[in-house]
Amino acid sequence: MNPVNYLYLAALLFTIGATGVLIRRNAIVVFMCIELMLNACNLAFVAFSRMHGNLDGQIIAFFTMVVAAAEVVVGLAIIVSLFRTRHSASVDDASLMKL
């Protein structure tokens, strides 16, 4: 098997995630799709790291994971506070700037 297949899989997962972000309107699901895109990028980094035979790709994937963890914490906090004020997690309602 050609290891480039890992890159194709990463591209496919990234595309699915991007489509999900455009399609879904539940903020939590949109957020999950973003996580899927980040994971797809990580897979591409790891595959590149193997192709080039050095660990730099893995380091970048590691930093991506750390940033994703921080991002999830803040993002979910925003969703929870949005839900508190509007009683819905739909991104449509969040377009209104006022309560």
Give, as ranges, the residues between 10 and 69 that touch other proteins (CB under 8 A).
11-20, 22-26, 28-29, 31-33, 35-36, 39, 42-43, 46-47, 49-56, 58-59, 61-63, 65-69
Place of tokens 């979910």: 76
- Looking at beta carbons only, is 56 or 97 nearer to other proteins? 56
26 beta partners = 90
User: Does residue 94 interact with other proteins by CB under 8 A?
Assistant: no
Q: Closest Cα partner for 41 from 2, 11, 80?
A: 11
- Looking at beta carbons only, is 84 or 98 nearer to other proteins? 84
Q: Closest Cα partner for 98 from 85, 81, 89?
A: 85
User: Does residue 71 interact with other proteins by CB under 8 A?
Assistant: yes
User: Does residue 72 interact with other proteins by CB under 8 A?
Assistant: yes
